[in-house]
Amino acid sequence: MAYTESNGWAKLKQLIDSTRLPGSCTRLGLIISNKTTAGESKKAAGAGIPTRVIDQTFFGCHSEFEFTISKVLEEFSIDLVCFVGFRRTLSDQFVNKWKGKLLSAYPWLSPALSVERVLQTKLKVSGCTICFTLEGCVPGPTVLQETVTVQTGDTEVTLSARMEDAQQRAVTKALLLVASGIVSLPAGGSIHWRAQD
């Protein structure tokens, strides 16, 4: 499994620890960052996790950037990728090559429900969504959602902090679901849940 993120070392360490639990069906095999100064990558390397920096500004075109990502993923025999804090548009060619192996984390339950909008409309619940990545900019089938109760007196800062914690929990759960084969995305494009014993 490869992980791309920009949410801080504590949350990344939580993911690393969860993949090292006895009986875990996941192994964090690579962390990719697009920033050479990302402190998380340096700490991950210190924890024994391979890291690579792939900065889009170093490439002449987007296809070269994606080719490099694919090459690095193949080099490390990665079979599942989770994008967290990665806000670049991926080409249909790249997504199709890795279809069913790409997950994206979104900091909302619905695209219309940003933290600011949740507070403006006085909603009682917010949350995040983990879904498969498909062609285009529209999120694919949802693997799971994690909710957060909006508390009286919440600000964008306080709600966002709890949202980040919820997102990390959701990422960990979603990776386990997909890595274990409980959830998959067959060629037809409809999400499949395997019956559990």
Q: What is the pLDDT of residues 142-169, one digit of tens each?
A: 999 999 999 999 998 999 889 888 988 8
**How many C-beta neighbours within 10 Å does residue 191 have?**
16
Rg (CA), the chain: 17
Alpha-carbon gap, residue 190 to 37, rounded angstroms? 39
How many distinct structural domains can be found in the chain? 1
pLDDT tens-place values along the chain, 197 residues long = 555 554 456 667 777 888 888 878 888 889 888 776 556 777 777 888 888 888 888 898 999 999 999 999 999 999 999 887 777 788 999 999 999 999 988 888 876 677 787 888 888 888 899 999 888 766 789 999 999 999 999 998 999 889 888 988 898 899 999 999 999 998 777 899 987 65
Residue 21 lies in a domain: yes
Residue 72 lies in a domain: yes
Contact 40, 33 (CB under 8 A): yes
CATH number at residue 82: 3.40.50.170
pLDDT computed for residue 147 by the predictor: 93
Residue 193 lies in a domain: no
Residue 61 lies in a domain: yes
- Domain span at residue 155? 2-186
Residue 191 lies in a domain: no
Task: Please report, for residues 107, 146, 147, the alpha-carbon distance to residue 159 in angstroms, rounded to integers and kept in the order given.
Answer: 11, 14, 12
Look up residue 57 and give its DSSP letter: G
Residue 124 lies in a domain: yes
Residue 195 lies in a domain: no
Residue 105 lies in a domain: yes
